[in-house]
Structure 1
């Protein structure tokens, strides 16, 4: 019964046969007066014909090449037929759907709003629709009522049984929408109750590592920063300071557009831990980004006694064990290895968190210190480190509430002074090379990004390897090099270092440069086959430039975009605001595909749509959090408690991992 229809076909109101007009689509109810089969003279097609009568007149119903229907109908059957009306010698209807009535059977296939399902293998559409109808008729009254009566009344929602009946077989569109609205609210309420319980569990867990940040430590940290903070950075640091001082672990999401200064905010939290003689860890999804962070913190921590370690894949066991003794450990998923053990891990920052799975983020939180205080709840209990998860892929408010409703959210909504907006253009390839040549002659550097490493017979897209050879020929006075993910780490490091130094003037690569590249002199980003990238990825690539004092340009190349790809490119060209980009991306692709349900933990909704049902989502969040605050055990809502537990039990071990 929770296998909802994908859509409903409006077969219309049953009309008297006398009202059938040529060119119109009608639904009629009548009795089979006669039937016959024959072959047409011209094409020798099988033709099956019924004469259907009602009190107002008669009409012929005609099917082509369906001889089995001779065994389906009998004279005297009461039938409903839907289809277009025409005149061929006489008035006739060509059925798109029919239904034989009899006994106490209700019309469910050919009249009114007819549900259409993604039919499982082994079923035909009619057989499956009949199965659902029987299940709804016999068992809808048994569906548990998850929404407390008080909330149903406040939000003007129909009951569970009525909603199940009308989501499948509504009397009219109003009944269908009332059913869908109720079921959407219920899905949101289950999720938000789960998130409210998670949030309460985290806040009641007295096993954080409280950090003291007095004036002296605050001054010492700020003295390391190379520039004044924006008001947005100051506001978010204030929020983080309050979290770090508590004995409950911080569980905060930091959102900010590309270039909004998230790294400095994260640095404050990491250095606060080190200033309290604890440890800090920064986890990044790629080696390039981890190495970029290591360089950034190397500059921030020059002439200090802070011990830092970089830990990426392929390091020897001895190095992994030694890393656990450093004050600040920066690394990739290698930080999750079992032999990486920390003395006293107080703060964890997860950068580009959407590129990690829920389980990976959970594993990092379990590396907190063991409580050896005799007064602790249990001598072997694990303290939870404070956790800050960051994303440069801005999340629309709808998804922030849906995915991260149990997290405190901070938003950096201001760019540092001096960040110039990037000019985004769509050009032809021939014009682009000349444009880039001019910028290189002015002393700038350029990225060229392509979707493939090598040419492919199966994919109609250019490759970085082929384009690097071509660009070397077209830009002979400049050094052009290739970078891609299949290179050895040492090769990638060497190429990136030469690009940073300016020795390499044009870098041709795959999306390995999507995050973590900071080359202020690079002022041009050329994205080949731009139709093959998602909006968030395009925005990330654009964020690699505009980091210096020079005017910067992002050029998209695309000559074979389909309808959806064109919509993405129009949105990309229209704004550089990451939050507007995210909203557009969600409208184009939908929330599930946008975030990757399995990887991100995005719940699957059957009736709800977080985009169009924002008001329902806000109500469900308000109601769920108020209910949990008032009644943490959900004693007043046992059916809701049972359904939340059943639906989200598998996730309970992932409490507070974002």
Structure 2
């Protein structure tokens, strides 16, 4: 019976309730569930090896005749099964091969003398010079055998097995589904490939068949790339539809003549970089347009994003609009408030800080009358709650990857088509920019301000704490300060890594003449504020902390950051932590401490010794950890990538964007010839309506 994607698996297994139950228990109910459960590797079982006479380095296929099958027991061990195979045409001159299974005592009944069997596995030498394959895959050949064609004598798929479901059950289900699939019920998602394309002649159903049961290694990779392009294409439709929804809004220009901006620029004791000025010009053009701005500003640690944000805010405020700056943590919001008060106080602007502390927020707002609302609101997610925003014309979101799309849209929904500027200090590889942030225009700060101190980075394997303490004392004697960063707040019984609450006491005994503070995610808000004030005033010499200091801590006097169990952090996160030092005129150091147990991990950390380029670090992190870990795609509202690789498949990302752009240009609502794509897409995130 021809199968559609929603066909129940009972059609494939009408007489095998055991297999059907195993599939259902593992979460498979339809043909599409099976077809989209992709193999993670293949085994080449196309060729029978010459009959083995010694161990093999890799698995191989052999074909032989059963001469014996028995259940055995060795001492107190559980019973095991041994099946003896000999070559079919042997004259007894070649050694037999023993197929052996443990804890499957019933299996010996499946074999009888003179049966022909295909077995696949790695040959190893056992006692008495015997050759053994432990737990091989096998097929018993008979005149009516069909399973042999599924599992043997081909490039065979190997699947991840949820609930421990047998490989044969998964493989047989995939074979039955794909061989019975109705081509008309499995339409292509991608536009038809051109005759000179790499995918010429390939359809979605053919690609699925070739990915599961490829006729050659080349066809397997071609199928993977086709289906990866399909993933990227659907993802691009998501982000470009979101972008079209934004462009369809009619907002209001939020760009004054620039008098405030010029006054502020004239007051600065240093010139902005050419990259900062270029980004400000792009933002000025966006703000002057009635279409709302949706722009991503990215730059390395210390590249000066905050000053670009201040420029954008001044342009918006001068037009009569309120500006909102949203930060992911109270520490970062407070740091921004200090920076804004420092640089904008001479301009007479009203600034309110909202961090979620009711008394502080109430005081901040009550000090400003309804007739005199703040020009600038700086806050955490607290700005999302209650009717606290007048009608902001500009929203700036710092450390965008710490927020989900839903939070970004909730903030934007408090105003009518506001301009939105999102910022990140985690440089984003181009392929990821086109996917996760494909709905945003891009500005990049690719130049560092003059005078930024280079940071000496060193990886140290189990250094002597006495030497570390001596180094810290020398820095304290010179008036400097330090961060000691640990991966955990409290000790864990399952992880052999350092915890801040324990280590702060250890280091207080090693540095008895110096003040050490403790900061982590559970530190009460008032205590955090007090700690940061004391650290800023140099009454605390070292701050023992978790990665909570990754963003928002700007202490120019801090010259050392020690990161313990550095292998527990991602490269991009380590680069962010490294950026906590080198902010003043002093020589600065980042020491990455690891136990050195894993040479690959140590080599990964040593990349930070070689480069201070955040974009190079981000590329490496993307290769190692994937886009979800790097940028929090779980919060993006976008589908996961299962076959696409954002590093290896960057050309496919570009192709997918071109294809999606072409389709949406011709059919923006996907209500015409491409309406079959709509079920693949969730609706665009809700956006504020245009003002009447």
Task: Indicate if the aligned counterparts of 2:83 and 2:111 stay in contact, CA closer than 8 A.
Answer: no
Q: 2:398 touches 2:422 (CA, 8 Å); kept in 1?
A: yes
Q: How does 1:37-186 map to 2 (within 5 A)?
A: 37=70, 39=72, 46-51=80-85, 54=88, 60-64=96-100, 65=102, 66-74=104-112, 77-84=115-122, 94=133, 96-102=136-142, 103=144, 105=146, 107-121=149-163, 123-139=165-181, 141=183, 142-151=185-194, 154-157=197-200, 158-186=202-230
Q: Which residue does the alignment assign to 1:270?
A: 313
**CA distance 1:513–1:122, change in 2 (3 Å):** closer
Q: Which residue of 2 aligns with 1:501?
A: 537
Structure 1 stretch displaced more, 480-489 or 532-541: 480-489
In the other structure, the counterpart of 2:248 is 204
Matches within 5 A, 1:326-337: 326-337=374-385
Out of 4, 8, 11, the position equivalent to 2:42 is: 8
Indicate if the aligned counterparts of 1:232 and 1:414 stay in contact, CA closer than 8 A.
Answer: yes
Change (3 A) 1:432 1:251: same
Q: Distance in 2 between matches of 1:595 and 1:650?
A: 22
SS in 2 for 1:9: strand
Corresponding residue for 2:292?
249
Paired residue total: 634
- Aligned 1:343-358 pairs, distance under 5 A: 344-358=391-405
Q: Is residue 568 from structure 1 mapped to residue 604 from structure 2 by the alignment?
A: yes
Q: Secondary structure at the match of 1:48?
A: strand
TM-score w.r.t. structure 1 length?
0.88
Equivalent of residue 419 in structure 2, options 364, 383, 386 = 386
Residues in 2 aligned to 1:152 and 1:193: alpha-carbon distance in whole angstroms: 24
- Partner residue of 1:417? 450
Quick one: structure 1 residues 204 and 503, their matched pair in 2 at CA, closer, same or farther if it must change by over 3 Å?
same
Partner of 1:425, secondary structure, is strand
- Structure 1 residue 621 and structure 2 residue 657: aligned? yes
SS at match of 1:154: coil
TM-score normalised by length of structure 2: 0.84
**C-alpha displacement at 1:637, in angstroms?**
4.9
CA RMSD of aligned residues (A): 3.0
Q: Which runs of 5+ in 2 are unaligned?
A: 1-34
The structure-2 alpha-carbon separation of the partners of 1:301 and 1:655, relative to structure 1 and needing over 3 Å to count, comes to closer
Match of 2:14 in 1: none
Change in 2 beyond 3 A, CA 1:314/1:443: closer
Does the aligned pair in 2 maintain the 1:48–1:69 contact within 8 Å? no
Closer/same/farther in 2, CA of residues 504 and 29 from structure 1, 3 Å limit: closer
| Maintained 8 Å contact 1:279/1:347 | yes
In the TM superposition, residue 155 of structure 1 has moved relative to its aligned partner by 4.4
- Superposition deviation, residue 129 in structure 1: 1.3
Name 1:219's counterpart in structure 2.
262
CA shift digits 1:20-53 (9 cap, x unpaired) = 55445542346x5654436589999755335566
User: Which of residues 361, 365, 370 in structure 1 aligns to 2:408?
Assistant: 361
Alignment of 1:399-478 (within 5 A): 399-427=432-460, 428=463, 429-478=465-514
CA distance in structure 1 between the partners assigned to 2:119 and 2:584 by the alignment: 70
Which is worse superposed, 304-313 or 118-127? 118-127
Q: Report the Cα offset of residue 457 of structure 1.
A: 4.5
State the distance in 2 between where 1:522 and 1:179 align: 53
Distance 2:510 2:203 in 1: 69
Deviations 1:514-563 (A, max 9, x none): 21111111111122222222222211111111111111111222225545
The answer (yes or no) to whether the contact 1:151–1:623 under 8 Å persists in 2 is no
1:277 Cα deviation after fit: 1.1
Residue 371 of structure 1 corresponds to none
Which consecutive residues of structure 1, in runs of 5 or more, have no partner in the other structure?
A: 369-382
Q: Structure 1 36/626 Cα, relative in aligned 2: closer, same or farther at 3 Å? A: closer
What is residue 20 of structure 2 aligned with on the other side? none
The residue matched to 1:334 in structure 2 has which SS?
helix
Question: Within 1, Cα distance between the matches of 2:164 and 2:492?
Answer: 38
In the other structure, the counterpart of 2:676 is: 642
